[in-house]
Amino acid sequence: MKTRTIIIAAASMLLAAASCQQKEQKAPIGLITEPTPASTNVNGKEYPKINPDLSVVFQVNAPEAETVILDLGKQYPMAKNADGIWEVTSEPQVPGFHYYSLIVDGVKVADPSSQLFYGTGMMCSAIEIPEVGVDFYLPQDVPHGEIRMQRYWSDLTQSWRTCYVYVPAEYDQNPSKRYPVLYIYHGGGEDETGWAIQGKADNIMDNLIAGKEAVPMLLVMDRGEALVPNARMADGPRSMFNFSSVDMLASQELIPMIDSKYRTIADRDHRAITGLSMGGFIAWSVGLNHPELFAYIGGFSGSGMAQNPDAYPASLNDQYKLLFISTGSDESPQMHSTVTNFRDVLEKNGVKHIFYESMGTGHEWLNWRRCLKEFAPMLFKD
Amino acid sequence: MKTRTIIIAAASMLLAAASCQQKEQKAPIGLITEPTPASTNVNGKEYPKINPDLSVVFQVNAPEAETVILDLGKQYPMAKNADGIWEVTSEPQVPGFHYYSLIVDGVKVADPSSQLFYGTGMMCSAIEIPEVGVDFYLPQDVPHGEIRMQRYWSDLTQSWRTCYVYVPAEYDQNPSKRYPVLYIYHGGGEDETGWAIQGKADNIMDNLIAGKEAVPMLLVMDRGEALVPNARMADGPRSMFNFSSVDMLASQELIPMIDSKYRTIADRDHRAITGLSMGGFIAWSVGLNHPELFAYIGGFSGSGMAQNPDAYPASLNDQYKLLFISTGSDESPQMHSTVTNFRDVLEKNGVKHIFYESMGTGHEWLNWRRCLKEFAPMLFKD
């Protein structure tokens, strides 16, 4: 199809020149053949620049600064050149989506050259390191669904909230058809924009649905946080694993709103819930608390509580059609064991489940994009 | 309706307590009665904090920095306290949406406590100063439309683009009804997210449509920039006022895509185009170049070229149903005169038009929100 469009474009000399040239020079998807500005840079910015070995050159203009450090998980002191430009080249990076910051004279700030993403509790710089030959999360030449920003009033929190709703490409073409729904939560320090922006959930679902791997479904991306007066979910570690507020909001307000505004199949057999990291714990907590609402539960780099094995009896398999957990092979031992210890609990209790490990990825979005690609095709098929 | 929901909520002691309390304490919309965190702060951040006189207290934790300056249009040197927290209180601010930065040892950075917005060519901090009694751009208890992120492939630029499309609340309830479309562009250094995020266009349209002031319509928010190979629009001042690439993209790709994916009334009488600042110049340039596509043209703080008076003959009134221009009373003399000089040209040439001046606002988003509120009700009524 692209070939055809290019032939058509060829009618215009100007375009023909440009696009054919592009065509010839086109490298395999994700292959870096020369130093290339990151796709996560602000429109038109040259740095950060990814080298063929996946090392990254960072630059910032800060003539008056005393010290500038790149914080990419590992810290790299930057060096100032004669023009006052600070620069450093990182070690080769693993493919994936990596948050980073600049530390200017001790102040952690965002890189003005980077697009910013709500992560780590602030608007944060990040760099996308492509993976050669991998395009499941990239826009492809397939029908495209939409992500819709849905505002709704919450009596529980006495506030307006916005959730993001993915609808498949066919949604508006089938005004009488109803669809199953996957509720999917972000991680700690992120918000409802995570799956839409960092997660590229719309591309992943467009591609899975076009390839007939997943059935057409809606995704609902709401904030995994709800400041319900006198409830305590949102005030930090002390209540990190108390999801009662999110549970109340999802079961009493979010799901009824979605079922009223969208053409959903409003029963448990056509509802799934998952999330990443903190969102995975939310999904398992809310999902197990509401068998009347959900038949499928997933958790990516976050799931149930290994410390509480009795809460996960084999009888869960009678209630739920799917129990899915996953982690990245390169996550920190502590993160990794959170999930593998829980897997051991499920196995010890004889709870049938799916365990997926994303090889070579850490606690980051490429990992979770792969998890969604694994999880979504298992939903709503019977 | 809120009262009713609160009575219902009262069934739950917990909620009743919270919501009634809130009810009693509720001040008039936009009135700051005590130092209050800005609505533009990142979730839960205490600073920037707006005082009742609309002065603003800014803080940043930077113990090792030598100098920290708040750049709020005017620069305010900040002072460091014993804990290494830098603080300054600005002069009283005019209501509106103001971009700002922190300058840490000479480096212009975003405030980690602020939500960030794509403006000034980077992700930029901003503070919303509320206006007492003004809620036309706030979410209200009315039916809510949606903003949909629409990806589309552009042959002209050989790239995937995303435009934002507002659809009115009734859109999905009337699967056979077709709607007029307003194409609306952002300003220089901003992008397609501007009207959706800073502009609060969905709230403004929801409220206008619910109040029967504007007819239900779609808004299409695309990027006012297109890197068409060998065309020059996007490389800076030299081609600042050459919108041929955007013109090609809008007329050849964007409009056909929208008319194919949405239930539009696909004729000139049901299409309008406007924008702010650079986007206003885009709207007048593209609108006048395509009388076959548009019957309504607007420009907010940016319009036509006073330097080229012959391009605006009285006969325009035979072609177009509405020619709208506007500016803010407190914009810089240069910005202000750009529009008023063009108004003089229209008057001299006998071109009937609407001129609107937003009193007390500068070259910022409260100004442009008001312009949309004035402009949208004039569209598609005959």
Tens digits of residue pLDDT in A13-60: 333 333 434 444 567 888 999 999 999 998 779 999 999 999 999 999
To the nearest 10°, the Cα dihedral for B50, B56, B61, B62?
170
Cβ contact (<8 Å) for A105 and B104? yes
Which tokens is A48 given?
Answer: 């950060």
**CB-CB contact of B346 with B374 (8 Å):** no
- The answer to whether residues A258 and A124 belong to one domain is no
Nearest by Cα to B98 from B125, B69, B133: B125
- The answer to whether residues B86 and B116 belong to one domain is yes
Cβ contact (<8 Å) for B151 and A141? no
- The answer to whether residues A93 and A218 belong to one domain is no
Question: Is residue A28 a part of any domain in this protein?
Answer: no
The helix (run of H) or strand (run of E) holding residue B68 is strand B68-72
Q: Which residue in A41, A135, A141, A149 has the most chain B C-beta atoms within 10 A of its own C-beta, making it the best mutation to test that interface?
A: A149
| Separation in Å, CA A166 to CA A204, A276, A282, B147, B262 | 11, 17, 20, 12, 16
- Matching residue, tokens 């919501």: B19
The residue from B129, B164, B190 where one domain ends is: B129
Question: Is residue B13 a part of any domain in this protein?
Answer: no
| Residue A367: predicted pLDDT | 96
Note the maximum CA span of chain B. Answer: 71
Domain ranges, residue B361 = 146-378
Q: B167 burial class (0-12, 13-18, 19+ CB within 10 angstroms)?
A: buried
The residue from B98, B129, B160 where one domain ends is: B129
**CB-CB contact of B324 with B304 (8 Å):** no
Cβ contact (<8 Å) for A104 and B108? no
Q: How far apart are the first and last CA of chain B?
A: 34
Nearest to B105 among A104, A144, A160 (CB): A104
Question: Is residue A362 a part of any domain in this protein?
Answer: yes
Residues of B in contact with A152 (CB under 8 A): 144
Cβ contact (<8 Å) for A144 and B151? yes
Name the phi and psi angles at A342, rounded to 5: -70, -35
What domain count does chain B have?
2
Which tokens is B176 given?
Answer: 């056979």
Nearest to B229 among A8, A18, A61 (CB): A18
Neighbour tally for B106: CB within 10 Å:
17
Cβ contact (<8 Å) for A62 and B22? no
- The answer to whether residues A49 and A112 belong to one domain is yes
- The answer to whether residues A106 and A210 belong to one domain is no
Q: A144 burial class (0-12, 13-18, 19+ CB within 10 angstroms)?
A: buried
> Residue A93 is part of a domain; what is its CATH number?
2.60.40.10
Question: Is residue A15 a part of any domain in this protein?
Answer: no
- The answer to whether residues A184 and A70 belong to one domain is no
Residues of A in contact with B116 (CB under 8 A): 110, 116, 123
Question: Is residue A153 a part of any domain in this protein?
Answer: yes
Return d(Cα A282, Cα A288) in angstroms, integer: 10
Cβ contact (<8 Å) for B107 and A141? no
> Residue A362 is part of a domain; what is its CATH number?
3.40.50.1820
Helices (H), A167-275: 194-197, 201-210, 244-249, 255-261
| Residue B236: predicted pLDDT | 41
Cβ contact (<8 Å) for A15 and B105? no
DSSP, residue by residue, A175-201: TT--B-EEEEE--TT--TTHHHHTS-H
Chain B residue with minimal CA distance to A17? B229
Cβ contact (<8 Å) for A44 and B104? no
- The answer to whether residues B89 and B201 belong to one domain is no
Strands (E), B93-235: 96-104, 107-109, 116-119, 122-129, 146-154, 159-167, 181-185, 218-221
- The answer to whether residues B78 and B165 belong to one domain is no
- The answer to whether residues B155 and B85 belong to one domain is no
Question: Is residue B362 a part of any domain in this protein?
Answer: yes
- The answer to whether residues B117 and B86 belong to one domain is yes
The residue from B129, B157, B178 where one domain ends is: B129
Residues of B in contact with A15 (CB under 8 A): 155-156, 229
Tens digits of residue pLDDT in A184-197: 999 988 889 999 99
Number of cross-chain residue pairs from A and B with Cβ atoms under 8 Å apart: 165
To the nearest 10°, the Cα dihedral for A50, A52, A53, A56?
-10
Task: State the smallest CA–CA distance between residue B357 and chain A in angstroms.
Answer: 31
- The answer to whether residues B77 and B118 belong to one domain is yes
Nearest to A65 among B106, B115, B153 (CB): B106
Tens digits of residue pLDDT in A324-342: 999 999 999 999 999 999 9
Which tokens is A318 given?
Answer: 């009678």
Per-residue pLDDT of chain B in tens (382 residues, 90 and over written 9): 344 433 333 333 333 333 434 444 567 888 999 999 999 998 779 999 999 999 999 999 988 888 999 999 899 999 999 888 999 999 999 999 999 999 998 888 889 899 888 887 778 899 999 999 999 999 999 999 999 999 999 999 888 999 999 999 999 889 899 999 999 999 988 889 999 999 999 999 999 999 999 999 999 999 998 877 655 444 443 345 678 899 999 999 999 999 999 999 999 999 999 999 999 999 999 999 999 999 999 999 999 999 999 999 999 999 999 999 999 999 999 999 999 999 999 999 999 999 999 999 999 999 999 999 999 999 999 7
Task: State the smallest CA–CA distance between residue A343 and chain B in angstroms.
Answer: 34
Question: Is residue B198 a part of any domain in this protein?
Answer: yes
Question: Is residue B23 a part of any domain in this protein?
Answer: no
List CB contacts of A69: < 8 A, sequence separation 6 or more.
Answer: A75, A76, A77, A78, A102, A103
Residues of A in contact with B108 (CB under 8 A): 112
Cβ contact (<8 Å) for A19 and B155? yes
- The answer to whether residues A169 and A40 belong to one domain is no
